[in-house]
């Protein structure tokens, strides 16, 4: 897929990614028989979100804020999510503990999203200002690249 210009700035792009992920979480939680394909889609999208945040958004925010931003916890959260996602990928939906691991990850990511949107993003808008559109273009390109490699759009 060719890189598209984002419709909005970097924070709005991340908020859209969050909304899409939260919809998938709701879908997963509402099903009594939780399909492995849906779990895989969640893990793939979470992986892409992690990449665009940790490879582009967080570094830009650190640079522009001269290190005066509360990103450390967000970065730690993403590492923990990746570790848990890696563990989940070793299981099938029929394995004992699969649902428990997925539901725990979903709850952790929900808390992370709420924290970022309440604390980090408002400050990011102020700090990044006019760079938000340029950062969004970079993030969209990485998202497109990652989605092409992983099959997630």
The Cα 68–Cα 111 span in angstroms is 22
- Report which DSSP code applies to 96: T
What are the mean pLDDT values of the chain's consecutive 10-residue runs (153 residues total)?
60 96 95 86 95 94 78 86 94 90 96 93 90 94 85 49
Return d(Cα 26, Cα 43) in angstroms, integer: 14
- The residue to which tokens 């503990």 are assigned: 97
User: pLDDT value at position 3?
Assistant: 45
The pLDDT value recorded for residue 2 is 40
pLDDT of amino acid 6: 54
pLDDT value, residue 133:
93
Q: State the pLDDT at residue 68.
A: 67
User: pLDDT tens digits for 116-125?
Assistant: 999 899 989 9
Q: How many CB atoms lie within 10 A of CB 47?
A: 18
Question: Quick one: pLDDT at residue 152?
Answer: 52
User: 18-39, pLDDT tens digit by residue?
Assistant: 999 999 999 999 987 778 899 9
């Amino acid at each position: 897929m060719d890189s598209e210009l984002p419709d909005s700035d970097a924070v709005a792009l991340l908020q859209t990614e969050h909304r899409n992920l939260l919809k998938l979480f709701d879908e997963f939680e509402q099903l009594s028989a939780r399909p492995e394909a849906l779990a895989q889609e969640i893990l793939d999208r979470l992986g892409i979100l992690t990449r665009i945040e940790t490879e582009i958004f967080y570094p830009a925010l650190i640079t522009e804020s001269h290190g005066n931003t509360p990103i450390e916890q967000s970065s730690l959260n993403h590492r923990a999510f990746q570790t848990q996602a890696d563990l989940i990928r070793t299981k099938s939906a029929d394995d004992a503990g699969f649902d428990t691991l997925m539901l725990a990850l979903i709850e952790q990511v929900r808390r992370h999203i709420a924290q970022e949107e309440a604390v980090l993003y408002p400050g990011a808008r102020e700090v990044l200002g006019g760079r938000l559109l340029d950062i969004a273009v970079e993030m969209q390109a990485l998202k497109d690249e990652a989605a092409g490699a992983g099959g997630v759009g």
